[in-house]
């Protein structure tokens, strides 16, 4: 029974949302699956990916073959890099501690990159809102900073 790691589509028309599942290759795309190991939402910027890395590694070690899209997601989340490091540990090229350290460094670097992309997207949204309405609406997290900026703007416009 060949097992695949693939995407199962959920969501409504023109608003896709996917579950990352482990399923029998003969089962239909949205049909029966063995286990759900994550989710993928391509509609957000950047795309939101929730994945249980340990389960994914476990299934790949058992022989599950990811589809092309699932492979790209696993590569992005560092699962394939972890498999690479585990092969090195098995061959004796490095110790488990070294492999764990290298894996954690890679995850931290990737997380920093994603967070910077999220911050960039939020800045673009604020810029767009400011362009459309004349002033950016306050975000719930940064209300104090925005309030100070609004006070400074009002003080500047009163002087004119």
pLDDT tens for 106-122 read 999 999 998 999 999 99
78-89 tens-digit pLDDT: 999 999 999 999
Residue from 24, 136, 80 nearest 6 by CA: 24
- Model confidence at 160: pLDDT above 50: no
86, part of any domain: no
159, part of any domain: no
- Model confidence at 158: pLDDT above 70: no
Q: Which CATH number goes with the domain that contains 25?
A: 3.30.1320.10
45, part of any domain: yes
Is this model's pTM higher than 0.85 or not? no
Per DSSP, 13 falls in state T
How many percent of the chain have pLDDT more than 70?
83
Reported as a pLDDT band with limits 50, 70 and 90, residue 130 is confident
| Residue in the block written with tokens 């995407």 | 7
44-74 tens-digit pLDDT: 888 999 999 999 999 999 999 999 999 999 9
Looking at the chain, which runs of residues are DSSP E strands? 3-12, 15-24, 35-41, 48-51, 65-66
Q: What is the mean pLDDT of the chain?
A: 87
- Provide the number of structural domains found in the chain: 2
Instruction: Tell me which residue range forms the domain holding 137.
Output: 95-151
Say what the pLDDT of residue 134 is: 72
3-state helix, strand, coil in the chain (%, to 5): 55, 20, 25
17, part of any domain: yes
């Amino acid at each position: 029974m060949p097992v695949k790691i693939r995407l199962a589509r959920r969501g409504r028309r023109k608003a896709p949302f996917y579950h990352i599942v482990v399923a029998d290759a003969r089962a239909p795309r949205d049909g029966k699956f063995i286990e759900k190991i994550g989710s993928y939402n391509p509609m957000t910027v950047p795309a939101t990916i929730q994945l249980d890395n340990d389960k994914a590694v476990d299934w790949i070690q058992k022989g599950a073959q990811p589809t092309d899209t699932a492979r790209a997601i696993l590569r992005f989340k560092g699962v394939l890099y972890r498999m690479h490091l585990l092969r090195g540990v098995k061959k004796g090229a490095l110790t488990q501690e070294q492999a764990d350290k290298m894996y954690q460094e890679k995850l931290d670097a990737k997380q920093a990159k994603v967070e910077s992309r999220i911050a960039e997207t939020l800045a673009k949204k604020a810029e767009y809102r400011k362009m459309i309405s004349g002033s950016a609406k306050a975000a719930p997290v940064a209300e104090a900073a925005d309030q100070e900026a609004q006070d400074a703007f009002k003080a500047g416009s009163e002087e004119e």
